[in-house]
Structure formats: structure tokens, C-alpha cells
Structure 1
């Protein structure tokens, strides 16, 4: 009995010791430098950053030992009239165990010393949506990271599908909507077979619909390619073998859509919750569409 009691006390003391360690000084200093580099921010931002323990600061999440920072979430902290912010990536590289970095809506124009992102070996989620990033070279570090989730929607990316993203074969969610991307989609997309969500909507991708590439994405659950410039005829048979597909949106392209899926080689293995074909020339409505769509069917 005494041995068990002693063990319990030792265990509690170890836990208390870990809890008392606090965040590392170099990570605390890096956070303060990131804050200062913003230049201007809303008066409500960083409201509790006066306490010493940075693991308790707003927008910061540490590991269970309360030592290493694992998540940084600074959403929409800078005012609408702020000048573009160019954060120094070397500051974020101080967070060796960082898993999630979210900086949406902060007027980010790009990063200084972008190569420093290569040090973030544990980074799995990167959210930079609703910023002002326009130079695709700011994404070259993508091939050095093993990201699961990447959101670059609502930026000013220009040109073709970024080649640097092609080497990231672990991506589960890729969101590039609301940019200025154009041309045909890079063939490397067909190799990103771990994708579950792909959103390339509201760009200017053109040419023939990338049917062959899409058919390789066997784990895809949500596919959103609406409001682009794809043209020509497409058969929904392209998606027949995507058994996990639940959301399909190819609306507002210049497409003529053949919806018949009656042959043995073209029997839908999915059960969609949403099918959006608005703005397309849909040749005919078939009964399967009503049996295999559980929530929403948009044709206009």
C-alpha cells in the first residue's frame, strides 16, 4: 500500500513539474517578434498577452507538457486598411514542434526568408486564405513539407497550377479557390491520390475538362471545380469509380454534361449529397440522379 501511494505521489509530482516548465523562452520571444512585425493590428488582438506564460496566450496552443507550441492561430488580426505584411519565416521556424499554422485575413503579401519553412518538419496544416500572396515562388517550399491541409484561397496567385505543390503527396485537403490561376491543370494532380477535398473554384482554368486526372483521385470526397473556363463535353462516367465522392460541383463552366450512367462499365459507385451542374448544358435527367443524390441537386 505504501509503495503504491509513493508511486502515485511521484507521478503527480512529475506531472506538476512538467506543468511548471512553461513555454520555451525562444518561442516566447519569436511570438513577440511576430506580433511586432505585423506593424498594426486590431485593438482587440493579443488581449491577454500580458501574462508571462505564452502557452496561455490567445491564438497559441501548446503540447500537453505546456512547453512546446503546436498551433498558432491568428485570424484577421490586422485592420482592413493595413499595408501588406511580409512575415519573416525564420521566426516561425523557431517552433520546432509546430503542427498547425493559421494566418488567414492578415494582408500577407509574401514571406521573407521563405526557405526557413523547410525546418517545420511536423507542420501538417497551413491556412493562409484571404491574404494577398501573388507570387507562386512563395510556394516552392511545398515540396519539403508533409502537409495534410493547405488553404490558399482568396489570394492573388497567378499563372498555372503551382508545380511546387505536386511533390506534396500527403495532402488531404487542397483549397486554391478565388485566385487568378489559369491554363490547364498540371498532370501531376493525378498523383495526389490522398486528396479528400479539392477546391479549385473561381479561377480561370481552361481547356478540356481534366477527366483522366480526376478519375485517379480515388479517395476524393469533395470536388469543387466551379466557375472556371473548362469547355467541351464531359460524361459523369468520369466520376463513376470515385466511391467516396459525396460532393461534386462543376457548375458555371462551358460544359455539355452527359448524365447517363446506365452501362455496366459506368455504374455510379458513389452516393452524392450534392451535385451542382448549374450553368452547364445538361443533356437529359436520368432516374439514377434522384436515387444517388441525398441532399441537393443544382441544375440551373
Structure 2
């Protein structure tokens, strides 16, 4: 259980140092939540930061829609008990990914990650390999982050066995390529998949409808997909919502 009552718990100093490193890259001109991040207060009392009542370790960070600018420094993933991270709907224009994934493995408890940006912000990410150690991830939203240079995105997603919801709308994705040596992609837990507003310029591959049997929500709206819909779409027996509009499908 997480708490905002810092009288009950004292923040872990290592976690405090990690949060302050993360803050250095942020421009909070609106004097929002991160303006309270100061050593004058226990870090469990900082706005947007939530700690475990018993251990004082940071478990959640919610900085959604705070008009934050500057850099997302993935040093934040060194918080080894972090389970929830929401940095969505801000104006970050740089993502600082560490050269090695050693420290990211600390965030193996992370189950919720939302980095989705805004339509008018130019935020790019050239690879997603840093996601692979996050084996507990259930929710992932990278919408409005330009992933055009990431050609291996499907393989990375297949390394996340617990993933239930994947939001990759407006990411400028342009391929469904998989390594021919891999017989199938393991996304068997996936329930929600949003790939709308991308630029695939290709047909839906036959294996696409074998990704999972539990999918209930599929959005491919205006993703520049063409050709015929494979008969294998009927494998999605649990599907409750599907949007294929705005493509050239027959």
C-alpha cells in the first residue's frame, strides 16, 4: 500500500537521489508537482510520488498532464520497487536511454508505464530494447512517440509476457516485420491493442491474427493497411471492438 502521509514513513535516501537526478532534466515552468521535489521535504511527501507505508520505498510516480518539458531520463527506472509510472500528456522532447540495460532491470516490478506524448510535440525513440527487462509490464502506452526508426518493435513486445494492453497510436510505425527464424510471437496475454494512425503501407500478415486468443479490443484505424483481411481474423473469438476504418481493405 502506498501513502502520502510522510509521518508514517521516511523516504529511502537512494530513491530520493534517483528522483532528484530525474528532476534535473525537467523544466517545470508552471511550478507544478516537481516544484515540491526538494530535500527540505521527505520525498514521500513530494507531489506525484507515492511510497510503501512500511518500507518507505517509492512505488508509484504520477506526473500526468503537468506541462513538463525537457528530458525523460530513464534513470527513473533505477527505482527498484517502482510499479507505476505515468509521465503522459507532457511536453518532453528528449528521451535519455542509458547505454546499458543493467540499471533498468531494477524496475522489474513495473506493471504500468505511460509515456504517451502530445500531438504537437516532437518526441523520438530509435529503439525499444530497453523494455525487454520489464517482464512484469501489463500496461504500455507510447502513443505520439515517433518510432519510425524502430524496425524491431514486434520482437520487443513479444519479450513482455504479462502485457495486457498495448497503445501505440500515432507512432509512425511502418512495418510488421518479424525474423523468419521465429515461428510465432508470444503476445498471448494481450487484451487491448491500439495501432491506429500509423503508416504500415502493407497487408496484414496471416500470423497477425494468431498473436493471442484473448483480444477484446483492436484498433487499426487509418494505419495505411491494404489488401484482403485474412480468414484467420476469426481466431479473435473474444473480440468486442474492432476498427479497420480508413484503410484499403477488402
Q: TM-score, normalised by structure 2?
A: 0.81
Alpha-carbon distance in 2 for matches of 1:92, 1:161: 22
Let me know the Cα RMSD of the aligned residues. 2.6
Structure 2: give runs of 5+ residues left out of the alignment. 1-5
Aligned partner of residue 251 in structure 1, secondary structure: coil
> Residues 130-169 of structure 1 correspond to what in structure 2 (within 5 A)?
130=117, 132-137=122-127, 139-146=128-135, 147-159=137-149, 160=151, 162=153, 163-169=155-161
**In 2: Cα distance, 1:65 partner to 1:243 partner:** 44
Matched, 1:238 2:232: yes
- Match of 2:222, SS state, is coil
The structure with the largest alpha-carbon Rg is 1
Q: Which residue number corresponds to residue 85 of structure 1?
A: 71
Aligned-pair distance for 1:86?
4.5
Structure 1 residue 249, shift from structure 2 partner: 0.8
Work out whether residues 9 and 53 of structure 2, in 8 Å CA contact, stay in contact via their aligned partners in 1: no
The 5 Å alignment of 1:118-137 reads: 118-130=105-117, 132-137=122-127
Does 1:99 pair with 2:91?
no
Please list every run of 5 or more consecutive structure 1 residues that lacks an aligned counterpart in the other structure: 1-17, 257-300
Deviations 1:242-262, CA, capped at 9 Å, x for gaps = 232111111110011xxxxxx
Larger helix percent: 1
3-state DSSP class of the match of 1:126? strand
1:255 aligns with 2:249: yes
Residue 190 (structure 1) shift: 4.0
Counterparts of 1:247 and 1:239 in 2: how far apart (Å)?
A: 13
1:24-63 equivalences in 2 (<5 Å): 24-46=12-34, 48-49=36-37, 52-63=41-52
